[in-house]
């Protein structure tokens, strides 16, 4: 007996489930007038330090909370809580990125009515998190000087999905052979509309301009 | 390394569609994957093989992946143009204001299944119910 194969058209996004939950998150954030920033970067690029510097710059104007994504430990969320800021730790247990259902569970423990801004620190990784919508208002990526000016050439995706690029640890530029002009050229080629904010999260240099860019966007959803 | 997670989602969706249609075998799965995503063709294929190895519904099945080239539209002069991953400015007027219209695809296009003659397919439903792991 010969059988014919039956063709079934699916035309279904692979990330259907993630994307639907991300849309639910986005709707909830809009209803509550909360701006959510998804922060993408490598391990050790200074995500948590940048978040702390951003909190210092904006805490007088906005109520801020932080969601920390890490494979394990609560080291980062403890640092945030020590500053008197609400923090939720997500441990992905090995997963290389955050997904929208994890965010949904994390925001359940936050009082969104009291918040203006949620800083969401993704798992340290320049690849996987770029494909996952979490329902955020914007993605930004942080690159640190010691990682090298060639990273946009090696990891184009993360620079392309980001609405802004923060270049951290600029105080270390004299000791690393970092070509800032070349870096900016590479970024401009990949993402001509993304502003680049050179900062040092530890000295505070450049943080004001970055924080003001973010503040404008937070005010816009109030 | 997120290809394993992506492929788990593909297999869940395909299994649901195949079972709803009363199929006993999946013969082929066809995906479209944009070159602007971080999903790598070889890793997807590897994940498919690893995940279907002991699943009789999928034994002997084939995975076909169409890689989708990036294409953008210039918001200033209207030109639609193909490009690589690294160059998104308009080649005609040099405008940086361009919109990606293809290349971030991550889609299950279709499947081919074997449905026995006496199959009693489950009635087709609307959108599949969301299941939260």
pLDDT in tens, A172-207: 999 999 999 999 999 999 999 999 999 999 999 999
Q: What are phi and psi of B117, to 5 degrees?
A: -60, -35
Asked if residue A87 belongs to a domain, the reply is yes
d(CA A7, CA A10): 10
Q: Which residue has the higher pLDDT, A73 or B10?
A: B10
Six-digit token pair at A23? 């849309």
Q: Partners of A70 in the beta sheet?
A: A91
For residues B112 and B26, give the distance between their C-alpha atoms in angstroms, rounded to a whole number: 6
Instruction: Provide the shortest C-alpha distance from residue A95 to chain B (in Å).
Output: 8
Region A52-60 average pLDDT: 97
Cβ–Cβ gap A5/B133 under 8 Å: no
- Nearest-CB residue to A11 (from B6, B109, B112): B109
Q: Give me the residue spans of the domains in chain B.
A: 3-70+102-114
B27 interfacial to chain A (CB closer than 8 Å): yes
Secondary structure of A149-200 as H, E, C letters:
CCHHHHCHHHHHHCCEEEEECHHHCCCCCCCHHHHHHHHHHHCCCCCEEECC
Any A CB within 8 A of B6 CB: yes
CA dihedral angle for residue A116, residue A122, residue A128, residue A133, rounded to 10 degrees = -20
- What mean pLDDT is predicted for residues B54-65? 96
Question: Listing from the earlier edge strand, what are the strands of the sheet with B98-102?
Answer: B80-82, B71-74, B98-102
Provide ipTM, 2 decimals.
Answer: 0.80
Q: Kindly tell me the sign of the dihedral angle through the C-alpha atoms of A40, A20, B16, A11.
A: negative
Residues of A in contact with B18 (CB under 8 A): 8
In this prediction the pTM is 0.86
pLDDT at A33: 98
B109 has a pLDDT exceeding 90 = yes
Tell me, yes or no, whether A10 lies in a domain: no
Range of the domain at A54: 17-220
In whole angstroms, give the CA distance from residue A176 to residue A34.
38
**The total number of structural domains that make up chain A:** 1
Q: What is the mean pLDDT of residues B84-98?
A: 91
Q: Please report whether residue A128 resides in a domain.
A: yes
**What tokens were used for A28?**
């909830």
* Beta carbons of B18 and A156 less than 8 Å apart: no
- Structural domain includes residue A12: no
A194 alpha-carbon distance from chain centroid: 14
pLDDT tens-place string over residues B66-77: 999 999 999 999
Q: Please give the CATH number for the structural domain made up of B3-70+102-114.
A: 3.30.2320.50
CATH number at residue A97: 3.40.50.300
Q: Is B106 helix (H, G, I), strand (E, B) or coil?
A: strand
Q: Which residue has the higher pLDDT, B123 or A74?
A: A74
């Amino acid at each position: 007996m010969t059988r014919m194969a039956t063709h079934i058209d699916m035309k279904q996004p692979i990330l259907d489930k993630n994307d639907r939950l991300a849309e639910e998150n986005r709707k909830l954030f809009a209803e509550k007038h909360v701006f959510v920033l998804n922060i993408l970067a490598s391990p050790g690029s200074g995500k948590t330090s940048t978040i702390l510097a951003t909190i210092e710059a904006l805490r007088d104007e906005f109520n801020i909370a932080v969601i920390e994504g890490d494979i394990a430990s609560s080291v980062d969320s403890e640092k945030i809580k020590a500053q008197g800021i609400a923090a939720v730790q997500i441990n992905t247990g090995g997963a290389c990125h955050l997904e929208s259902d994890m965010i949904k569970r994390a925001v359940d423990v936050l009082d969104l009515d009291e918040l203006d801004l949620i800083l969401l620190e993704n798992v340290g990784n320049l690849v996987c998190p770029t494909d996952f919508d979490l329902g955020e208002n914007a993605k930004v990526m942080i690159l640190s000087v010691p990682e090298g000016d060639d990273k946009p050439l090696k990891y184009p995706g993360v620079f392309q999905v980001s609405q802004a690029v923060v270049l951290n640890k600029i105080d270390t530029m004299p000791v690393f052979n970092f070509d800032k002009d070349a870096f900016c050229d590479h970024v401009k080629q990949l993402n001509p509309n993304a502003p680049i904010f050179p900062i040092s999260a530890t000295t505070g240099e450049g943080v004001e301009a970055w924080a003001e860019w973010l503040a404008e966007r937070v005010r816009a959803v109030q | 390394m997120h290809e394993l997670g992506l492929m788990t989602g593909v297999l869940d969706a395909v299994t649901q569609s195949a079972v709803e249609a009363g199929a006993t075998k999946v013969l082929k799965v066809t995906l479209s994957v944009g070159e602007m995503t971080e999903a790598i063709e070889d890793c997807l294929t590897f994940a498919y093989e690893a995940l279907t190895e002991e699943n009789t519904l999928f034994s002997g099945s084939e995975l076909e992946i169409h890689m989708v080239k990036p294409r953008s539209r210039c918001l200033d002069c209207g030109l639609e143009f193909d490009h690589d991953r690294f160059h998104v400015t308009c080649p005609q007027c040099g405008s940086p204001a361009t919109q990606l219209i293809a290349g971030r695809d991550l889609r299950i296009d279709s499947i081919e299944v074997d449905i026995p003659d006496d199959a009693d397919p489950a009635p087709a439903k609307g959108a599949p119910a969301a299941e939260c792991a």
